[in-house]
Amino acid sequence: MIELFLSAFATLFVIIDPPGCAPIFAGLTRGCPPAQRRMMAVRSVLIAAGILLFFGLFGEDLLRTLGISLAAFRIAGGIMLFLIALEMVFERRTQRRENRANEVTASPEHEDISVFPMAIPMIAGPGSIASVMLLVARSDGLNESLVVLAALALTLLLTMLALLASGPLMRLLGHKMEAMLTRILGVILAALAAQFVIDGISVSFQINV
């Protein structure tokens, strides 16, 4: 159970990337009153948690309804996560997130950034949704599913803490440290994504890998 928890936590932490969300949140909420900033941080994580929990609990049934096998979803999800990992290693993901933040900043009608872009797609994006669905689908029984959900809860808690402490956190880490951390997490995510693809192929062709 501990190994499953650590594996799920590592996957979700790398995908959701709390340290990477913090500078975007800090930039979007610059000039906001502290109380409003805290409210948006909590609301962003709660909305994302609801979305991820829904797909974690009902995602496999949704796939079955659409006629998509779990093995096919594992392969597709693994490939998608690998592309995200490449973006992290070459810092393209950070640039894309910053572009989204600039678009929101340029639109005066977007005053509350809790739903967009923080909850969706920065926290509950395609990568995190796919990861939660894959991890829950791989779980054997209720106990293992609860372990995965506990790892998700811890990741979201850390995300909330990162958003609440985004200002001091950015001053502490600095841009160079943040870039180095993003690259390291990208390499880890690439290995995890490859494992998802291997699992999907092994199930499809009934190969013991």
pLDDT by residue for the chain (209 residues), tens only, comes to 899 999 999 999 988 989 878 877 887 777 778 888 899 999 999 999 999 999 999 988 888 898 888 788 778 878 877 887 787 788 665 566 566 656 655 554 445 789 887 898 789 987 888 899 989 988 888 899 999 999 999 999 999 999 999 877 766 766 677 677 667 777 877 887 788 788 888 878 775 44
Count Cβ atoms below 10 Å from residue 197 Cβ, excluding itself: 17
CA distance 205 to 209: 11
Q: Which pLDDT tens digit goes with each residue over 157-178?
A: 999 999 999 877 766 766 677 6
Q: Is 68 left (phi over 0), alpha (psi -120 to 50) or beta?
A: beta
Query: pLDDT tens across 39-74, in order?
Result: 999 999 999 999 999 999 998 888 889 888 878 877
Determine, yes or no, domain membership for 36. Answer: yes
Peptide bond into 33 cis (omega under 30): no
The count of structural domains within the chain is: 1
* In a domain? residue 122: yes
Is residue 7 one of the residues assigned to a domain? yes
Asked if the structure places residue 91 within a domain, the reply is yes
Contacts of 65 (CB under 8 A, 6+ apart): none
Q: Which domain holds residue 125?
A: 2-204
In a domain, 175, yes or no: yes
Domain contains 112: yes
In a domain, 151, yes or no: yes
- Is 209 contained in some domain? no
